Structure 1
Amino acid sequence: MDTIEIQRIVEVEDDNWWYRERRAIVAKEVRRSAADRAGGRERAVDIGAAGGGNTRVLKDHGWRAVAIDSSETAVDLCLSQGIDAYHGDACFLPLASGEQDLALALNVLEHVEDDRAAAAEIARVLRPGGEVLVAVPCDMTLWSAHDVALGRVRRYSRQALTDLLEEAGLAVERLWSWNVLLRPLVRLRRHRTAHCEDMAHLHPYMNEALHLVTALERLLPVKSWPGVTLFARAHRL
């Protein structure tokens, strides 16, 4: 992810509907991890942290969190917010083996040419039983200029993501879709435009309307339906 894109994320992520709802999912899963751990909240890593929004969620819930990103700009932005951050590639994390209790890899794997190496690296830094929360864009039928502009290599099917994690020694506990209700709109818009949508320029009313739709989705039994994003929760064997 380039410097301009990271700066755009930092500018919009506190208010933009997509980032707000993704942080809500992260917070819910982080609380679940804390409740499941008899020893309490301990070490966590946010891989591909960008501006550190999700790292802040970890810290707010009591985790000793560190941010890792391949961009020096992202690392500097995290450090400026008081977040421990290090420069590192998803395939070569600057962390010791088996020390992390929780890892986030949100919208990271789709950017990595060798996603198997990245998945194996996630497994390496987790302790046995340690958990990872992964998010990736799903379904190559949604491939568009948006994916190209963001530097993605692929989108994932449910089976492809499951196979990737299991081959790395991670047991998938749950797999679910996100942005199910908005999928028809996303598909229509992305296949009708030759450029990447600029989320920073959303009208406030539209931003709030999209937020309400995704908030409503939390209450509906649609997580097994096709969506725009796939989430997976897994643990190291």
Structure 2
Amino acid sequence: MERAVFDRMEAIDSEHWWFVARRRIVAGLVAAFAPNRPLRLLEVGAGTGSNLAMLQTFGAVDAIEPDEGARAIAAARSGIAVGGGYLPGGVDLPDATYDVVLLLDVLEHVENDLGALQLLRRKMAPGGRLILTVPAAPWMWSGHDVAHHHHRRYTRAALEAVVRRAGLTPRHVTHYNTLLYPLVAAARIMGRMTGRTGGDDAMPAPLANRLLTAVFGAERLWTARLRMPFGVSLAMVAETA
């Protein structure tokens, strides 16, 4: 991603509704599908490290992030020695180690998504879990995806197919960010009509931010249990054979 994207991320990811609510949803997925404690966890593409404190409540956490500036911020925030390198060939991680590997809105940035998943499968301990989130609904492709250097948005079928090809078994797959789907869809359609460019990650007014956090964050109550048929994003829990 561009330097400016990471700078905005650092400024807003502690309070912005999307980051706050996604952390709650991811915490629910870890709790539901990796109940044994303590865990050995790995976050791939940790960005500026906004998830690391939450993940540390589940066990020991390693992290990698290819961007040097974001990596330094993540390390300072968390106290973790965040590693570098790009997927699939540029990371140095031990094999058969991690109970949970988290790839949170990262796979869409990787040109060789199959190769990345195959590599991470080798890093998972027997019975390990991969928790994966990606943008859904390819028709929503917009200037936001361009600004964030996405290679694709996924359908459920496409995500399941590449995960299976990598040798992993999907255990739970669902759309999420479903409640706000009509609002986001309308914004994307309007942006297409007006030729809008750039990302959608501006910090809203405080009242709007609190409301959006409450609405999106409420999905933590069912994301680990239900399989929603539509949403702005997809979440998957996959396991080693």
With normalisation by structure 2, the TM-score equals 0.90
Q: Which secondary structure state, in structure 1, belongs to the residue aligned with residue 202 of structure 2?
A: helix
Counterpart of 2:65 (choices 62, 69, 75) is 69
Partner of 1:21: 21
Q: 1:182 to 1:204 in 2, by over 3 A?
A: same
Q: Give me the whole-angstrom Cα distance separating, in 2, the residues matched to 1:232 and 1:91.
A: 20
Counterpart of 2:207 (choices 205, 208, 216) is 205
Q: Which runs of 4 or more aligned residues in structure 1 lie more than 6 Å from their structure 2 counterparts after TM superposition?
A: none
Q: 1:65 to 1:147 in 2, by over 3 A?
A: same
Q: Give me the whole-angstrom Cα distance separating, in 1, the residues matched to 2:80 and 2:234.
A: 27
Please report how far the alpha carbon of residue 121 of structure 1 lies from its aligned counterpart in structure 2 after TM superposition.
1.2
- Is 1:59 the counterpart of 2:45 in the alignment? no
Please report how far the alpha carbon of residue 101 of structure 1 lies from its aligned counterpart in structure 2 after TM superposition.
1.2
One-letter amino acid matched to 1:23: R
For structure 1, the residue ranges without an aligned partner over 5 or more in a row are none
- Is 1:84 the counterpart of 2:81 in the alignment? yes
- Is 1:225 the counterpart of 2:229 in the alignment? yes
Partner of 1:236: 240
When structure 1 is superposed on structure 2, of 216-225 and 51-60 the one drifting more is 216-225
Pairwise CA RMSD of aligned residues? 1.7
Q: Cα deviations across residues 134-185 of structure 1 (Å, max 9, x unaligned)?
A: 0000111111111111110100000110011111111111001111121121
Q: Give me the whole-angstrom Cα distance separating, in 1, the residues matched to 2:27 and 2:116.
A: 24
Q: Cα deviations across residues 61-118 of structure 1 (Å, max 9, x unaligned)?
A: 3x11011011111211122121220012121331021111110001111111111111
Partner of 2:112: 114
Please report how far the alpha carbon of residue 236 of structure 1 lies from its aligned counterpart in structure 2 after TM superposition.
1.1
When structure 1 is superposed on structure 2, of 212-221 and 79-88 the one drifting more is 212-221
One-letter amino acid matched to 2:204: L
Q: Give me the whole-angstrom Cα distance separating, in 2, the residues matched to 1:30 and 1:226.
A: 22
Q: Cα deviations across residues 186-207 of structure 1 (Å, max 9, x unaligned)?
A: 1111222212345333111111
One-letter amino acid matched to 1:228: V
Equivalent residue pairs, number: 233
Q: Give me the whole-angstrom Cα distance separating, in 2, the residues matched to 1:72 and 1:216.
A: 34
When structure 1 is superposed on structure 2, of 104-113 and 177-186 the one drifting more is 177-186
Q: Cα deviations across residues 10-68 of structure 1 (Å, max 9, x unaligned)?
A: 21111111101110012112223452x3xx3232110000011112211123x110110
- Is 1:32 the counterpart of 2:32 in the alignment? yes
Please report how far the alpha carbon of residue 219 of structure 1 lies from its aligned counterpart in structure 2 after TM superposition.
4.8
Q: Give me the whole-angstrom Cα distance separating, in 2, the residues matched to 1:134 and 1:216.
A: 19
Between the two structures, name the one with larger relative contact order (CA 8 Å, sep ≥ 6): 2
The answer as to whether partners of 1:180 and 1:222 remain within 8 angstroms in 2 is: no
Q: Cα deviations across residues 197-229 of structure 1 (Å, max 9, x unaligned)?
A: 453331111111211221344457974221000
Q: Give me the whole-angstrom Cα distance separating, in 2, the residues matched to 1:187 and 1:104.
A: 27
Q: Give me the whole-angstrom Cα distance separating, in 1, the residues matched to 2:51 and 2:33.
A: 15
Partner of 1:171: 169
